[in-house]
Structure 1
C-alpha cells in the first residue's frame, strides 16, 4: 500500500501493555494468575515489547501472579509498577521482573496535595530510588504522575534528574486524560531532548489515540496501552487502535496486527468487559455491512467501504441482514449458505428481510434460511430436532434431560450444570455426541414483553469449523428458548450430508 511520506515514517516505536496492571484497575475487573499468564502469552504472540505484569506492592497474590508471568521466559520485558518507596522496588525484585516503572509526583497538585512534599524533596527521592533500582540491575522507567498538568520547567528538571541518576527512560503521563495533542507534543519534545521518552495517555476526552500519536510525532518511542482500552474511568489508550493507526496511517510497525482480534477476545472473556459493537478494530460492527449501497459496493470491491482488509487484524468481513439490506447482500448471504434462488426469488426474499428488520428484529441466518425455504418451496430434512425438555434447579445441582431426534434416531440424555440452561446445554451435547463440538460464540437474552407472562428472546451464535450461524428463539421459558436456539443452530451447522452421517454414527 502506497502512503505519502510523513514525519513518522522512520520512527521506531514499541508498545508497552499495561492491561495486567492499569487495565485491571477498571471497576469490576480482577484477573487470576492463570488469566494473567494466558493474556501475557497472547501479548507475546502479538510481539508486544514490554508487559507490565502488575504492581508487586499490592499483595502476596499479585506477586504470585507477576512471578508466574516472569517464569514464562518471554521475549518481552516484564515489569512491575512501583510507588516512590524502596520497599516497592524490593517487592518487585522478589518477583524476578526485568524492570520497574517508578511513579513519582510531577504536578504541584500531586507533590503538595497527594504526598505532602516539596519539589526539591521529590527530586532527591527520585534520584535515590532510581539509583537503588539501577544498582540492582533493573531496567528503570520514571513516570511523572499528572505530567500533563505539571509545570513543564519542573517536569523537565525532574526527568533530567531521573536520567542522570541512571534511569533508562522517562514517561510523559496524561494521568487523568486532561490534555490535548498540542500540549502533549510540546512536553514530549522537551523530554525527548533529554533521552528516551514514553507516553502514557488516557481517554477521558476521547483523545487517547490522538495524544499518543502526538507524542510519537514529538519523539516518543514507547507508548503505554491496554488491550481494548481497559483502565480507570474512560480507560487507557487502546493497544489495537494505536497499533493500526501507526501502521496504516504512518507505516510504523509495532506488533503483529493479525493477532489483535484474538488478543481482544481473550481479554474480553477474562475481564468480563464486552466489546462495544462499534469499537474500532475489534468491535463486532467494524467489518460488518448492512446498508444495501455499502454491501453492493463491498461485493464489487472489498476496499470500497473499508480502510484496510479485515484479515489485517485477524478479522473476517460480515454482511449483516436487516432493513437496510439490498438484493446484493441477500444474494451473497444465500450463496454463503448454498441456497439457489432466481432473481425474482431473491427480490422477494430481500423484501421480506426488510419487512422483518422494519419490525425491529435482528434478522438472523436462520430467519433468512426460513424465508428462503418458504419463497423457493425447498424442503429441508432436519438433522437435529428437540422433542422434549425437562429442567430443574430446585436442588443442590441443577439438572436437565432432553429427548432429541438425531438423524432420525431418538436419543435421550441428561446433564448437570451451574444453572438450568447450562445443564440443558450439557444434555444436548451428550445426546448429539462429538458432532455437537461447536463453539458458542455469542449468547444474548432480551426481554420482549413485561409482566408475569413475559417472553424472552434468546439469540445464539455458534460456529463449527469455518461456518457460523445465528439463531433466535422466543419463549416464556428462558431454558427452552436457549435449547431450541442451540438445537436449531446445530441443525443448520450439520445440515449437509457428510455431517449427517457423522451425527448418525456418533457413539455407535
Structure 2
C-alpha cells in the first residue's frame, strides 16, 4: 500500500465536537457547519446522535435535507432502537460503537465480552438489513485486549460491517505503538480501518498520523480539535501534515480551512487559542524585528507555509520587539515619507509603548507618526455627547451627538448591551460618509478594583480595509466609544 493513498476524513465536529462542555448547536448552526464541511471536501459528516432527542433528530434531518456530497452519519450504540432512530433521520450510515475494553464492558455495561460481541453482530446485521452503511467502532480500544478486538472486528465484517474504527477514547496511545497496532489490525481484517483519537496528552494528531502510516484509511477529526475534555484530533493539523510534510494530496480544499475554523469557533462559542497551530491568531503574525526583516527578504525564512494556502493573511504587529523593518513597512503603508532620524524616533516611541505592556494599534502608530512629523490632522468625527440606558427588563439604548465633518448629527440605536447599542448609534451617525463594520472587540482591566481602568481594543473595517484602535477609561462604555471613534477617524 502507498503511504497516505486515498485517505478519507470523517468529521465529527457536529457530534463529538458538540459534546464539548457548554456547546449546544441549533439546527441552523449544524446545517451551516455541515455545508462548510462539505465545501472543504470531507468524506463523512457525523451529524449527531439520533437517539439523543427529537431536537437532535430534527437537526440531523435538516443536514440530510441539504443534499450534500458527503456521506451523512449518525452515532449509535449497539442497540436496535438507536438504529431505528438513525433510520428515521434518513442518514446514509451509522457509527456503531461497541465498548471493547474490559473496563468499559464490565464496569459501564456490566456485561461480558461475549455479550458485547453478540450485541455488536446483531445490531450490525439489523442495520445492514435496513440499507445502512455500518462503521463498527471499538470504544476504548487502546485499553482492550488486542486479540479480542481483532476477533470482534472479524465477526463484525462477517456480519456486514463496511468499515471498522479503533477509538483511543481517553488519549492513551503513543505514536510508535499506534503504528504497530494498525499494522497488526489492518493485516488481520478485510475492511478499511479508521482511527479516532482524543487529545488528553496532546498526541491526537501524532497518533492519527502514526495510525495512517500503519495502514488506517480514514481519520476521525474535528475542526479546531474541539471535543470532550481536551478535544479530538484536529482536521487542519492532520490535513496539512499530510499535504505539507509528507507531500501527499488529501482532496481537502485547504483555502477554506481558516473560514471553517472561524465559523465553528463563532457558532460553538469556543475561541481558538492564539498559539493554536495553523488557525490560531498568532500563527502568521510577526512582531520581532529580526523575523520581519527576514520575511521582507523571503517569507519562507520564518513561515513554514504561505498563509494563503489556508485562506489566511500575514500580519505584522508592532510592540517592544518591533524593529526598523516592521516600522518602515507600517509607516509606508500609511502613506508617510520619513527620513532615518524620524524613523528612529517613531521606533523609539513604539518600543516605549510596548515596554509599558501596550499593544500598538494602527491608530497609535498614526498618532505617533503624525506627532513626529508635526502633522496636524483634524478628526472628521468628534463625539459631543452620549447617553446610554440599560438595566433589568430594559432594551439597551444609546443616543449620540456627533460632529461629522463639521455637521451636527444626532442618532440613537439599540443593542444586546450598552456597548453594542453605543456602536449601533455611532454607526448610524457616520453612515453618510462611511459604512464601518466592527470585526473584533476586546477589553482588559488594567488595574484592580471597581474603579479599574479598562482598555478596549477594536478592529474595524471599511471597504476591505482594516484598522485597530484603542480607548482607555474607567467607564467601559466610554472606553469603547473612544476606541471606535479613533478607529473610524483612522479609516476615513
Pairwise TM-score range, normalised by the shorter structure: over 0.9
Q: How does 1:337-376 map to 2 (within 5 A)?
A: 337-376=334-373
Check the 8 A contact 2:136/2:161 in 1, yes or no.
yes
Residue 297 in structure 1 maps to residue 294 in structure 2: yes
Seen in structure 2, the aligned counterparts of structure 1 residues 10 and 83 have a Cα distance that, compared at 3 Å, is closer
1:501 matched to which residue of 2? none
Q: Which residue number corresponds to residue 503 of structure 1?
A: none
Q: In structure 2, what is the Cα distance between the partners aligned to 1:434 and 1:171?
A: 59
Residue aligning to 1:497 = none
- Give the Cα separation in 1 of the matches to 2:266 and 2:222: 15
CA distance in 1, matches of 2:67, 2:165: 26
Q: Distance in 1 between matches of 2:165 and 2:489?
A: 55
Cα separation, 1, equivalents of 2:270 and 2:437? 20
> Structure 1 residue 181 and structure 2 residue 181: aligned?
no
Instruction: Summarize deviations over 1:206-238 as a string: whole Å, max 9, x none.
Output: 101100100110111110011111011100011
Matched, 1:319 2:316: yes
With 233-242 and 439-448 compared, the bigger mean Cα shift is at 439-448
Deviation per CA, 1:38-91: give whole Å up to 9, x if none.
Answer: 111111111111100000000000000011100000000110000110000000
Structure 2 CA distance, aligned partners of 1:134 and 1:269? 38
Structure 1 match to 2:193: 197
Alpha-carbon shift at residue 382 of structure 1 (Å): 2.2
Match of 1:82 in 2: 76
Alpha-carbon distance, 1:336 to partner: 2.1
Alignment match, 1:502: none
Q: CA deviation at 1:9?
A: 5.0
- The one of 457, 460, 463 equivalent to 1:462 is 460
For residues 401-412 of structure 1, the aligned pairs below 5 Å read 401-412=399-410
Residue aligned with 1:390, SS:
strand
> Structure 2, unaligned stretches of length 5 or more?
none
Alpha-carbon shift at residue 366 of structure 1 (Å): 1.0
Specify the alignment match of 1:105 in structure 2.
99
Aligned residues: 488
Q: Is the CA contact 1:296–1:328 (under 8 Å) kept in the aligned structure 2?
A: yes
Using the TM superposition, give the Cα deviation of residue 452 of structure 1 relative to its aligned residue in structure 2, in angstroms: 3.6
Give the distance between the partners of 2:159 and 2:32, measured in 1 at CA.
36
Tell me the TM-score normalised to structure 2 length.
Answer: 0.97
Question: 2:10–2:220: 8 Å Cα contact kept in structure 1?
Answer: yes
Structure 1 length-normalised TM: 0.94
Residues 391 and 400 in structure 1, CA contact (< 8 A), matched pair in contact too: yes
Aligned match of 2:125: 131
Structure 1 residue 439 corresponds to structure 2 residue 433: no
Q: 1:329 aligned to 2:323?
A: no
Question: Residues 417 and 426 of structure 1 are in contact (CA less than 8 Å); yes or no, is this contact kept in structure 2?
Answer: yes
Question: What do residues 111-153 of structure 1 show as CA deviations (whole Å, max 9, x unaligned)?
Answer: 1111111111211111111111111111110110000111111
Is 1:153 aligned to 2:147, yes or no? yes
User: Structure 1 21/437 Cα, relative in aligned 2: closer, same or farther at 3 Å?
Assistant: farther
CA distance in 1, matches of 2:450, 2:102: 59
Secondary structure of the structure 2 residue equivalent to 1:282: coil
Partner of 2:220: 224
Does the CA contact (< 8 Å) of 1:181 and 1:211 recur in 2?
A: yes
Cα deviation for residue 487 of structure 1 reads: 1.8
Distance 1:56-1:150 versus aligned 2 partners, 3 A rule: same
Q: 1:436, CA displacement in angstroms? A: 4.8
Structure 2 contact 3–213 (Cα < 8 Å) conserved: no
- Kept in 2, the 8 Å contact 1:228–1:239? The answer is yes
Unaligned runs of 5+ in 1: 1-6, 495-508
Q: Which residue of 2 aligns with 1:506?
A: none
* RMSD of aligned residue pairs (Cα, Å): 1.3
Residues 427 and 436 in structure 2, CA contact (< 8 A), matched pair in contact too: no
What's 2:210 paired with? Answer: 214
1:471 is matched with: 469
Q: Output one character per residue of 1:251-280: Cα deviation in whole Å (capped at 9) or x when no partner.
A: 222211110100000011001111111000
1:448-475 Cα offsets, whole Å, 9 max, x none, are 1222422111111112233211111101
User: Retained in 2: the 8 A contact 1:172–1:187?
Assistant: no
CA contact (8 A) 2:380 2:404 kept: yes
1:246 corresponds in structure 2 to 242
Aligned equivalents of 2:300, 2:432: Cα separation in 1: 39
User: Relative to structure 2, which stretch is displaced further, 461-470 or 244-253?
Assistant: 461-470
Q: CA shift at 1:179, angstroms? A: 1.4
